[in-house]
Amino acid sequence: MVRHCRLFLCLFALVGSTRSASAQSFSLGEVGKPGDSFTCRLDLTLKGTMKIVREGKTVPMDFAAEGAHVFAEKVLDATKGIPVRVVRKYTTAKNTTLHGTEKSVRVLSPERSLVVARRNNDGLLCFSPAGPLTRAELELTAEHFDTMVLAGLLPGKDVSVGDVWKIDTAVVAALCQFDGLISHDLTGKLTEVKDGSALFAVEGKASGIEVGGMVRSAIRVAGKYDLLANRIVALEWKQNDSRDQGPATPATELESTVTLRRTYLTEEPKDLSRSALAAVSTDEDPAPALKLLSYRDDKGRYRFLYPRDWHIVARTENHLVLRLLERGDFIAQATIVPWKTLAPGTKTADDDFRKAIAETPGWVREEEVEAGTIPSEPDRTIFRITARGDLDGVRVVQTFCLITDKNGRQVVVTFTMKPAQVGRIGTRDVGLLNAIDFGDK
């Protein structure tokens, strides 16, 4: 009888110890602080179908993309343990896209390899202290997976294997790159602990607005957390998107995978040391010019700096089309066309310009609202005509502007908008006109 009691007590103790091990808790969280430094490698694979409208018909086009980013990252500021401002030094930032049979490659220029990223209530701002970025450079540095909000995937408390936690809405919006989050049900789960690492998963759906278009996403994530370093060291983020057509983007169906490899550095990287950053400004609020984007015509016919709410949507040898978005709303379209060069000191007669724009394909003028010269720099003139009418059967207001410099070089800029949006453009059309610079051929 005593033997049986002892056996029972031993079994009870064994069961108790097993339960204790299975219910062991682990602290999963990251506390970021100024000076924390990492090396990060991001690899992207993406494939999908883009729905292009041609001659009134929707035509599907397959496309694929690959991206690679390698950079050192240093935390400049943190709030409640979450980095809100970092500086990055890119050694690689490259994206290769295949649309049908057309291949394009974008690479970050070495002159813009130092980038500051800041996140606040207004969203993410990335800029280079060395000067304005191009739209392509902005996309390469601001639209990859955001390592600043990685800690938001963790519960920030003790959890046991099998425990589940909800992901914060701000983290979902940031990692899905939404301008506005509508809904989500993403949750995290501790799946396994082994060899000093905690393996976790995140899964769910999210919907939001990006560049004025509706996006519905299904997300699956597998992550690895180093229990000794208290850091996420690896991640695989898989996402399926169904995107509606937006004012600056086509409708698409996407499948993408991002893999992250991340190493915490015990020593500050040389490229991001105090001495290396002493000659550049990494201020939280950069100079206004650093928030602008830069565009240069491939043939050197013109160039300009412009605010980020203008988005390039089309470019050919002789046309550049931009669309102005305000919190996702389409305000106006601007089309820039290099025009004939005249003898120095001369310009196209006003009536000749008026006749030329009357021949614009699809344009039926109803009424000329105003015409005249607007203020500009002393060495050039801007003649503007504003008219109401129909463009391809749609009622619009168009402003046709002819910019002529002292050397007879000319560019035509046409602003097109629906009548209800005329008041919302403010002075942003004039700002774009005055920014255009002919430079040197």
Q: Is the pLDDT of residue 14 over 70?
A: no
- Structure tokens belonging to residue 379: 């060495």
**The whole model's pTM is what?**
0.87
Burial of 357 (0-12, 13-18, 19+ CB in 10 A): middle
Strands 157-160 and 114-120: unpaired
Percentage of the residues of the chain whose pLDDT score is greater than 70? 94
Structural tokens at position 201: 């998963």
The 10s digit of each residue's pLDDT in 210-224 is 988 999 999 999 999
251-265 and 303-306 strand pairing: unpaired
At residue 327 the predicted structure's pLDDT band, cuts being 50, 70 and 90, is confident
pLDDT band at 332 (very low <50, low <70, confident <90, very high): very high
Give the class (CATH, top level) of 293-435: alpha beta
84-135 pLDDT per residue, tens: 999 999 999 999 998 878 899 999 999 999 999 999 888 899 999 999 999 9
Q: What token pair was written down for 103?
A: 């291949």
- On the question of pLDDT at 300 being above 60, the answer is yes
Q: Report d(CA 436, CA 441) in Å as an integer.
A: 14
* Domains of the chain, residue spans: 26-277, 293-435
Lowest mean pLDDT among 19-23, 44-48, 56-60, 352-356: 19-23
Query: pLDDT, tens digit, for every residue of 361-415?
Result: 999 999 999 999 999 888 899 999 999 999 999 999 999 999 999 999 999 999 9
How many whole angstroms separate alpha carbon 436 and alpha carbon 295?
10
293-296: strand order across its sheet: 133-134, 293-296, 303-306
**Per-residue tokens: 369:** 């609202």
Length of the chain measured in residues: 441
The pairing of strands 37-54 and 251-265 is: antiparallel
- At the topology level, CATH places domain 26-277 in Lipovitellin-phosvitin complex; beta-sheet shell regions (2.30.230)
Q: Is 62 in contact with 49 (CB distance < 8 Å)? A: yes
pLDDT at residue 440, as a whole number: 55
Question: Would the pLDDT of 7 be above 80?
Answer: no
d(CA 252, CA 207): 15
DSSP for 158-199?
A: EEETT-EEEPPHHHHHHHTT-SEEEEE--EEEEEEEETTEEE
Which positions ≥6 away from 76 have C-beta within 8 Å?
34, 85, 86, 87, 116, 282
Beta-strand relationship, 114-120 and 82-99: antiparallel
Question: Cα separation of 163 and 143, whole Å?
Answer: 32
Residue range 4-31: mean pLDDT, rounded:
56
pLDDT tens, position by position, 239-251: 999 999 988 888 9
Is 323 within 8 Å of 247 (Cβ atoms)? yes
| Selection from 217, 305, 304 nearest residue 253 by Cα | 217
Round to whole Å and give the CA distance between 88 and 67: 17
